[in-house]
Each structure stands twice: as C-alpha cells, then as structure tokens.
Structure 1
C-alpha cells in the first residue's frame, strides 16, 4: 500500500502541474498534505513533519543558494563570467566548447557539492552559450552530469564517504575506482546523451532560458578590455573550490597522520563548510568584481537583489519538495521497501544497487537511500569475498537513479534551465538513470579484475 499511495500521489502532482497548470509550489504543498494523510501520519504530526522537511532542506541549501546566487550575479555583472567564457572559447574553440564545459565541471565537481557547483557554473555557462550561439541546455546538461557523477561516486562527497565508513572500505580505493567508472559515465551520460536528447525534446534546447537561474548569467556585454583579468575572474569563481579543497586535504592529512586535535584544524574545517565557503567567496567577489572595478555599492546591491529575486521561487519549491520527502520517510515508505529484501539471495553488488534504487524511487533522497541500503546489506557481506570499495560504488549508483518529483535535485534542474515537467523527465530523469546503470555496469566490469 505505501508504494501504491506514493504512486497515486505522484500522478496527482503531475496532473496538477501539467494538465491543470497549478503553480509548482502550490501543487507540491497540496500533494504533500494529501500523502501525509493517506500514509496514516497522525494529524497532530503532519504539520510538524512538513515544517521539519522544509526546514531541513532550506537549512542545507538555502544559504548556499542565496550566497551562491549573489556570487554568480556579481561575477556576471562585473564582467568576470564574460572574461572566463571568452578565454575558454579561445582556448578550446567553439566546436569543442562542450568538452571544455564538461572538463571544467568535472574538475570543480570533485571538491564542490552539486548545488554549489551548479549555482557557481550556471552564469559562466550561460555566458558561453550566448557568445557561441549554442543552446544553454546543450552546454548545461553535460555540466550537470559531471557534477552529479562526482557527487555520487567520488569522496570527499558525503554519500560515498559515509557509505565507505559504514562498509569499512578504504577511502583511497573508493576514490581510485570511482575515478575509473566516473570518466566513461560522464562521457556517456553527458555529451553523448545530450546529442540524442536534443532530437527527442528539441523544444527544451531551443528556449531562450532567461528566467530562473539562467537570469544570474544574463548581463550586458562589455568591451573585453573593461572586464577584469582572467586571473582575477578565475580566482573569484574558483575560490569556493580552493577553500573546500584545502579543508578536505587538511582533514585527510590529519586523519592519515593521526595528528592531535588543534584549534587550527577547527578553523580550516569551518572555512571549508559549504555555507562558510560561499559567504567568504561572496565577500571576495564584492571586491574583485565590484570595488576594484569601480562599481558603486548601490550597483553591487542591485545585482544582489536581482539575484535573490531570481531564485526566490526556486527556494520555495526546494523547501516544499523537502517536506514531500520527509512525509514519505515518516510515512514508512522506505521501511516498506526495505522489508521486501529480507532473506534475498541476490549478489551483494546487485542487491546493494537494487535496494538503493528502489529506496531512491520511493522517497527521493539519495543519501537516505544509500545509508538505508548500507544497513541492510552489511549482514549479507559477511562471509562474502565481494570488494567493499565496489559495494560503495554500487550503492552510490543505485541511490541516484531516476530523479523525479520527490527529489530536490529534480526541481533544482527544472527551475535552473526553465524546463517543463515533460522536458525535465525526458532529460534529467533519463540522464540520472543512465548514470546509475552505467555505474553498475562499470562496477561489474571492475569486479572481474579486482
């Protein structure tokens, strides 16, 4: 029954948005309340669960998106995005610019959270798309692919790092094997899939995309000599990567060398937190993209206000989608899926992927899906010679399959690229499924040799 109720809820949501044209935020709120009642959550607990889900989601992404949006708008309005895009076009050429975007996103994605990488790169990619007269989605979809793959498979991202700890896997081996499967996965799900998606949903690739997150990169072109230098622009855009990278390396060195606790480590860890990183980067951008460019404080604050307006509805949608996820978890949907696999005789690799995939489909959260799966398959690994590093990657692959309406990532991508529901399913949902299946396939291939 929990799965059937969830399926009916998803169907109602699709009808509200696609057929009856109800606002996405209002539609999500309606379905969230209805699902809470249908799943048997006590009436006295429903509002608390919805508020907890909304608060938890906005607590994790609200400030990141807020600071990141202002940072991106400052870089765009200050000419930094134009300088970076022009330099990349000159270096790679217009014909290979998509590969330049993928490579940049993959490198940055190793250190950046998915949400941080997206809000940081969108203004730059939008500027590139304007200069070379290419579809924003044609460049943006492979960019999102690279960020998603690194988020799913590569430590120090939370998912693979936490799962590795649960399984007792060597984090270095997870990182090595993760790189091996990530590169071909990005190529298949990124540029190759985008080429075919363009044929199936051409309208999505022909949009001007001046709304939503794309508005962050929509600025007036200026003479190149008036833009900040490439070094200054790149430093401003890469500053979050530097801070997070320093914090990650410091943490790994402290753990590897078994160094005693010290206040310096706490300072570095604080600076490397995504919210702190984006805030410090924003302060830097106020100088590099503003004061040093002779822009007045009034002009800088206008950019800040425009950026917040551009993401206001996105934040509401993300918050209420977190409420939907919380209701599904509290309503026991994940527990019901877990009960289906008691005493299963499947291969541990297949079982880890399958449980994580069904958990993801049922309740939306990749992290919850991965951690629940870890708890279920650890007993099945006893006495087995399965490679635990590959188990981590198989679980990570399953946990990102078929992103749909109960996943905040689905709404982030939809609103970022100004897509309809149908277009988001045909691009992002299919793309995430390709990543998941490719991940499992390459894990199996690796298991032959390791």
Structure 2
C-alpha cells in the first residue's frame, strides 16, 4: 500500500506541473502534504517536516547556488567565459568540444560537491553554446554526466566515503575501482548518448549570456579568465591535499583550513577575487558589479524555490519511514547481493529523491547479507553508489536544476537528464559485476 501511495503522489506531482501548469514549488508543497497525510505522519508534525525539508536542502545549497550564480554571471558578462570557451575550442575543436567539457567536468567533479560543480560549470557550457551556436543539451550533458558519476562513485564525496566507513572498505581501492567503472559510464552516458539529443531545443536562457554593452569594458586575458573561473576548484583541491602533505599541522592551522575549505567560504573568496579581477580591474565600478550580482539573484530565485520544494517531498518520505520499509521488503528477494544492493538503492532513490539517503539507507539493510556472502566491500560501495543515481525525476533537486538552467520542458528533461542518470547507473552496475568476476 505504501508503494502505491508513493506512485500516486508522484503521478499527481507530474500531472499538476505538466497538465495543469501549476507552479512547481506549489505542486511540491501540495503533493508533500497529501503524501504526508496518506503515509500516516501526524497532522501536528507535518509542518515540522515541511520546515525541516526546506532547511535540510537549502541550508547547504542556498549560499553555494547564490554565490555561484553571481560568479557565473560576472564570468559571463566580463567576457571571461568567452575567453575560456575559445581556448577549449582551439584545443579540442568544435567537433570534439563535448569531450573537452566532459574531461573538465570529471576533473573538477572529483574534489567538488555536486551542487558546487554544477553551478560553476553551467556558465562554461553556455559560453560555448552562445559563441559557437551549438545545441546546449548536446554540448552540456556529458559534462554533467561526469559530475554525477563522481558524486555517486568516487571518494572524497560524502556518500562513497560514508559507505566505505560503514562497510570497512579500503578508500584507495574503492577509488581505483571507481575510476575503472566511472570512465566507461561517463563516455557511454555522455558523448555517445548525447549524440541522440542534438534536436532538443532549450528555452531562452539569459542568465550567463554576455550583454552587448559589456564590450565597453576591457576583456580579461585568458590566464586571468581561467584563474578566476576555476579558483573555487583550485582552493578546494588545495585544502583537501594540504592535510595529507602536512599531517602534523597544529590545531589552530587545522581550524583555519577547515574554515577556509568550507564550500560557502570558498565561493565567497572566489567572488571577492572575481569582483576585482573581472570587475574593478577591467574598468567596472562597484555599482556596476553589484548590479550584475543583483540580476543573478533574480534569475535564480525560482530555481531556489523549486529545489526547496523537492526538499520538502524528500523529508516527508524520510519522516514517514518509507525508505526503511521499502528496503527491508526488498531484502527478502533472492538476488545476487551486488544486484540487490543496487536495486534497493535505486528504488529508494526513485521514491525519496536523494542519492545520499538512498545509498546510506540501502547500506544498513544490505550489510548483514554482504558479510554473510563475503562480497567484496569495495564493490558493494560502488554498487550502492550506482543504484543511488538511478530514477532521477521530479523529486530530485538535480532534475530541476538541469530543467530550469537549460530552460527545458518536462518531457525533454526526462528524455535527456533522467535517461542519462539511468544509463550511468546501469553501466556502473555492469562495470561492478564485471569487476567481481576478476577480483
């Protein structure tokens, strides 16, 4: 009965948004309340679930998205994004620019959290799209596929690291196996699959477009453009590597490093740096730069609300106990542990919308079976990571970020983003099963 309620609620969400054209945030709010009541959450506790849902997802994303949009807007309007796009096209050529963006996404995605990487790299995608008149989805999805794979498969991302600790796996071996699985998954779900998406048309996306009056200002040099746009990446890599190079650093130094390495602080440092290098240094006034930042915030206001709505639905699913109920029901199936772990994570992801919640919930269920059967724990980490990327649809914040940034219809988002995530997940599972034959 629980599963039927979830399916009906998801169907209601899709109908409200697609057929009745109800605002996505309001649709999420209405469906979340209906789902909470139907799944037995006490009425007096339902408002708390709604508030917690908004807080849990927006607490970690709001600053990152807002600061990232400001940085992206300035990188675009200053002409820096155009410079970066020109260099990349010169290296890879317009024919192979997909591969250049995919490799960039993979390298950047390893140290960056998914939300940060998405916000940082989308301006780069659109700078290529605007300058060379190429299809946005066809060009950009391979880069985002690379980001998604690193988020689900590879340490130091939160979910794989937590799974390694739970299963007592080896972090280094998990990373090595993960890279072996990730590379074919990215290639097949990225450039190969995206060759079928050339005809998808995006809406009027203006957030990262360079304005004509920007030509009155100096255009930054290529080195300065790359340095400023990629500064958050450099900083995060630096603060990740330093503890390994200096394991005996004092407590004060460690505290400073933790503070500076926080994603929101990294984004703030990068924005301050960009304000000078791409703003003041190029002849812009502070007022002009702040105007650009204000426009960026206006452009992403609806995106923030939609992501908040998906957080409400996810929280209702968690508070109702649906995740655990589904997982323990699936545990009774007679299936290979690696496939079963993937399946449990996939179904929970489809119901609650969070890859991290799906993987960690599935881990607690599959643990006894893994120990009993002697399955390689490193492979189980990857199996759950692959499963947690499956079934990305209307209850997933990433789905809405992609839809709104690219200005797509619901149908086109499902046949591009959702299919890409499914391919990454399935190819990842196949890779894990192949590795299990030789390990």
TM-score, normalised by the number of residues in structure 2: 0.96
- Give 1:216 shift: 2.5
Corresponding position of 1:447? 436
- 1:15-34 alignment, distance < 5 Å: 15-34=15-34
Corresponding position of 2:161? 161
Corresponding position of 1:206? 201
- Give 1:125 shift: 1.3
Contact 1:163 1:374 (8 Å CA) reproduced:
yes
* Partners of 2:278 and 2:427 in 1: CA distance: 41
Alignment gaps of 5+ in structure 1: none
- Give 1:364 shift: 1.2
- 1:249-328 alignment, distance < 5 Å: 249-253=241-245, 259=248, 262-328=251-317
- Give 1:100 shift: 1.0
Corresponding position of 1:101? 101
- Give 1:418 shift: 0.8
1:244 to 236, 240, 243: 236
Task: Mark the CA change 1:55 to 1:162 in structure 2 (over 3 Å): closer, same or farther.
Answer: same
Aligned length: 439
Which whole-Å deviations, capped at 9, do the CAs of 1:110-148 have from their partners, x for residues lacking one?
111111111111112111112211011111111111110
Q: CA RMSD in A?
A: 1.7
* Partners of 2:181 and 2:349 in 1: CA distance: 21
* Partners of 1:7 and 1:345 in 2: CA distance: 24
Corresponding position of 1:129? 129
Which whole-Å deviations, capped at 9, do the CAs of 1:83-105 have from their partners, x for residues lacking one?
11111112221111111111111
Please state whether the residue corresponding to 2:109 is helix, strand or coil.
helix
- Give 1:56 shift: 1.0
* Partners of 2:3 and 2:400 in 1: CA distance: 22
1:233 to 225, 228, 239: 225
* Partners of 1:335 and 1:391 in 2: CA distance: 19
* Partners of 2:250 and 2:185 in 1: CA distance: 39
Decide which moves more: 16-25 or 60-69. 16-25
Q: Given the alignment of the two structures, is residue 334 of structure 1 paired with residue 328 of structure 2, yes or no?
A: no
Contact 2:347 2:391 (8 Å CA) reproduced:
no
Task: Mark the CA change 1:220 to 1:137 in structure 2 (over 3 Å): closer, same or farther.
Answer: farther
Q: Given the alignment of the two structures, is residue 361 of structure 1 paired with residue 350 of structure 2, yes or no?
A: yes
- Give 1:252 shift: 4.3
Decide which moves more: 308-317 or 99-108. 99-108
Contact 1:53 1:323 (8 Å CA) reproduced:
yes
TM-score, normalised by the number of residues in structure 1: 0.94
- Give 1:345 shift: 4.0
Decide which moves more: 415-424 or 222-231. 222-231
Corresponding position of 2:78? 78
Contact 2:217 2:283 (8 Å CA) reproduced:
no
- Give 1:344 shift: 4.4
- Give 1:225 shift: 10
Please state whether the residue corresponding to 1:340 is helix, strand or coil.
helix
Task: Mark the CA change 1:383 to 1:24 in structure 2 (over 3 Å): closer, same or farther.
Answer: closer
Corresponding position of 1:63? 63
Alignment gaps of 5+ in structure 2: none
Which whole-Å deviations, capped at 9, do the CAs of 1:202-259 have from their partners, x for residues lacking one?
3xx233x333xx51344338669941111111111111111111122234456xx5x4
Task: Mark the CA change 1:95 to 1:371 in structure 2 (over 3 Å): closer, same or farther.
Answer: same
Corresponding position of 2:426? 437
Contact 1:53 1:324 (8 Å CA) reproduced:
yes
Task: Mark the CA change 1:51 to 1:441 in structure 2 (over 3 Å): closer, same or farther.
Answer: same
